[in-house]
Chain A
Amino acid sequence: MAVDETLASLSNQLVYSAMLVYTGALGAYAVDLSSRGGSRRGESAVAEPALVAADGSPLPGASSPAASRPGVSRLGAGPQPEVAPAAERSRAGGIAVALTWLAFALHLGGVVARGASAGRAPWGNMYEFAVSGAVVVTGVFLVVLSRRDIRYLGTFVVGPVLLTLGLAVAVLYTRASQLVPALQSFWLVIHVSVAFVASALFTLAFSTTVLQLVQERRELGRSAGREQRRGRFMDAMPSSVDLERSSYRLHVVAFPLWTFTVMAGAIWAEAAWGRYWNWDPKEVWSFVIWVVYASYLHARATRGWDGRRSAYLALAGYACILFNFLVVNIFFVGLHSYSGV
């Protein structure tokens, strides 16, 4: 089947447009963050975080002694903490979210057009994998955003997405074409789409973990009596304990999905090559990623390894994901080397 060139070029234009809108969204998120930091200037303690504000819905019948106890509100049992309405807090935040939705729509259109131009799943080479993976990151972010106010993460999600798209367009670009025989399988849809969602969640979790470590550093500095001048926008963010908890929840969803990705890959490998596991470089690194995140989950339950140390393991896991996509695909020879850079 021939490739529909009109659709293929439409896809490119949509991706370019999406990048433009993402840039706008990134700016708006940055303004939102800085204004949050500004509005909190002068307060010494970190206020009740927005994350929990969205989570802890007002509860009928929750008694007042319980709510007044510290720690209860973190579990969501307490009454709504005092948080200014979103509109008052920042107009930029609203603009940022609207722009993200617009960019997401354009981006998704680009991905769909790309797939339609060749009549197949739009992730047959590294360019397509990067573009489709990025749209899933935005999608997952928007889904979580509709349930919790995680706009503070916006900069740290849209930034990497924009970076990925830039890399895809500038370095990885490949013309739309049919698939090589090895990829002509329904497992491509199952294996890769779940890998996307898992990677997207790991990306969000990574951003959260970085913020957690920065926040923790600030908190430690503050408790040691040093005033935290730099990065005032961090004042508007949840406490490091809450960021850690969010990061854990994201990891906990991502990890079984990654497990499934590896298993689906093994089943596909059996059908394609006759061996469900052959220690191909890509398989090695998928395994390494799995083990590192498994270590993270164990570390979190091990005394002396929780908190900061387990956060470092989570960062190491994400570094392995990046390595697996960028370095292994391009520089390591293996059975996954059909990606067509």
Chain B
Amino acid sequence: MVDTLLPETARPEPIRQPGLGPVGWLRWAWRQLTSMRVALLLLMLLAVAAVPGSVFPQRRIDPGAVTAYLSEHPSTGPWLDRLGAFDVYSSPWFAAVYLLLFVSLVGCVVPRARQHWRNARSAPPRTPRRLDRLPVHATAVLDGVDETAALDAARTALRRRRFRLADHGSSVAAEKGHSAETGNVAFHLALLGLLVSIAAGSLFSYSGQAIVVEGERFANVWPRYNSFQAGRQVDPGDLPPFTMTLDSLSVVFDETTQGNQFGAPRSFDGRLTVVDEPGAAPRAARLRVNSPLDVDGTRVFLVGNGYAPVVTVRDGEGQVAASGPVPFLARDARYTSVGVVKVPDAAPRQIGLSGLFLPTAFVDPRLGPVSIFPDAKDPRLYLTAWVSRPGEDGLGLDSGVPQSVYVLETEDMVQLRGSDGEPLRLLLSPGATVDLPGGAGSVTFDGVKRYAALDIRYDPSKVWVLGFALLSLAGLTTSLFVRRRRLWARVSRDDEGRTVVEVAGLARGDDAGLGPLVAEVLQDVKTPSATGSTTPKE
């Protein structure tokens, strides 16, 4: 680069470039990284890198969708997985982009902050010799006003507009708007603080999902969660020991509006009894969407709901082997729900039931049984039944291999068939009991309860994240709207002995208001009586 700056005559022979060496290369890389151009490219790259996360299903949001995608795309799916397409925001390449961006930001902002610190404390620069060369410039002739008075008037006019002043003999220099750069630096440092807060928060926060059926009590211990994620600094054995009972969950669906809003939810309203810590007095609380329960910083959110049909299963010996509500997962907006009932204690043969719960049942000639309304207007259970071989653990619950409570492992089970040889289909309305063939037992559909799907979260970094976000917004706004301006006023005497006042201004970037400002200041100097009465406080 250097030789291109030299004039042609200064290059008698080709210059031998000295080798950069490792330190030189590092310095070169650093200079590149902290250059505005690279920062800009990284910023654009960040936007592009974020997009795949909205196109492909993400594991941390919807792991089921990822599994479905992988089975639908057996050839491309695994490659996309290897590239991190299903974990975009925790993938190495995404991290590389934003970490490089932040390194670039630090390398850019820290020297700038240092420079700004010096500039903000130094006096306004001295008056240029030729004020009329500045972008905005205006003069006025003041007859009968002496030079000192005119300069005083200029000083007053500028100070009144909150300029910092410096006297330079027959002229005064004024500067204002350092807060723009302060805001700029604050904005960028706040973004850094935001990133650090988020990273620290992931160490100290935990979250878990749990399903609580009406009438059930939830104790905040991690085995009670259906899924649980915790940061490295969280001891899952030492969670805040609160309990809560879901007394009721009332749900309202739209029954009046026609069209696509028919059946849309209108209200989910949970009533809780909360015990904040062992021995504390129980208190009543409400739990609704947008209105979480707060127990000393741990927040409980109502994120879903569904139906838990109450089922009683008697085994081949006539004993009640299982009885209680079984949560079914809603599959569509009309709450067509799927679920399984596992009865490992049934003797002599274990029983497994799998099927659909329909809050308002309708048998579609093409689709089969579906729900046509989300509320439990006419509930039905459609089940198929499986049994183990006598005395065997066909369900595999004792095998030690973890399995989902919503999936029936049928590998070691035998499907029950009707007299026609077709797989047996049980259709139950509330209160009904159906005997299983072969003396395997019976199934009773006792009724329906609702359950609440809860998200329970603790994140101590939230307040920091919010603080830095607000700081960045304040800094951004300041940097974009505060104008950095320099003004100078000089008094002199013309050939005829009259006092001449020159006012000139310089702004950073485009500044439509600079011209009017210069004119106003000049006007104040011309008519000091207007400003004299409103002398500012120091």
Contacts and interface: CB of A to CB of B under 8 A. Distances in A.
Interface string B503-519: 00000001111111011
A255 interface: yes
B465 A305 contact: no
A66 B47 contact: no
B476 A259 contact: yes
Interface string B32-44: 0000110110011
What bracket does the count of chain B residues touching chain A fall in?
A: 35 or more
A261 B51 CA distance: 20
Given A66-B136, A174-B259, A177-B257, A274 B207 contact: yes
A26 B516 CA distance: 35
Contact of B46 (A273, A279, A291, A341): A291
A61 B519 contact: yes
Given A75-B135, A175-B258, A279-B61, A181 B265 contact: yes
Interface in A295-315: 295, 298-299, 301-302, 304-305, 313
Interface in A272-324: 272-276, 278-281, 284-285, 287-288, 291-292, 294-295, 298-299, 301-302, 304-305, 313
B279 to A, nearest CB: 28
B89 A279 contact: yes
Contact of A178 (B39, B43, B138, B254): B254
Interface stretch (B3-11, B19-27, B287-295, B391-399): B287-295
A179 to B, nearest CB: 8
A259 B472 CA distance: 9
Nearest to B266: A178
Contacts of B469: 263, 266
B57 to A, nearest CB: 8
Interface in A66-109: 66, 71-72, 75-78
Nearest to B36: A302
A256 B473 contact: yes
A62 interface: yes
Contacts, number: 184
Contacts of B321: none
Interface in B501-538: 510-516, 518-519, 522-523, 526
Contacts of B523: 60-61
Given A72-B136, A77-B519, A274-B207, A284 B54 contact: yes
A248 to B, nearest CB: 7
A288 B51 CA distance: 7
B266 A61 contact: no
A175 to B, nearest CB: 5
Given A181-B266, A181-B268, A305-B40, A276 B477 contact: no
B516 A57 contact: yes
Interface residues of A, number: 73
A180 B266 contact: yes
B289 A181 contact: yes
A274 B303 contact: yes
Interface string A166-202: 0000000011111111101101000000000000000
Contacts of B17: none
Contacts of A178: 254, 257, 266
Nearest to B521: A61
Given A181-B266, A182-B290, A295 B135 contact: no
B183 to A, nearest CB: 11
Nearest to A285: B54
B375 interface: no
Given A184-B290, A273-B301, A248 B58 contact: no
B266 A295 contact: no
Contacts of A268: 290
B222 to A, nearest CB: 17
Contacts of B207: 274
A271 B292 contact: yes
B267 interface: yes
A227 interface: no
B140 interface: yes
Contacts of B473: 256, 259-260, 263
B354 interface: no
A249 to B, nearest CB: 8
Contact of A270 (B88, B462, B476, B526): B462
B466 interface: yes
7 contacts: A60-B523, A75-B136, A76-B512, A266-B469, A272-B289, A280-B61, A288-B50
Given A63-B140, A76-B514, A259-B476, 16 more contacts: A77-B514, A77-B518, A78-B515, A175-B258, A176-B257, A177-B254, A181-B268, A182-B290, A184-B289, A252-B481, A274-B292, A274-B301, A276-B462, A287-B50, A294-B43, A332-B55
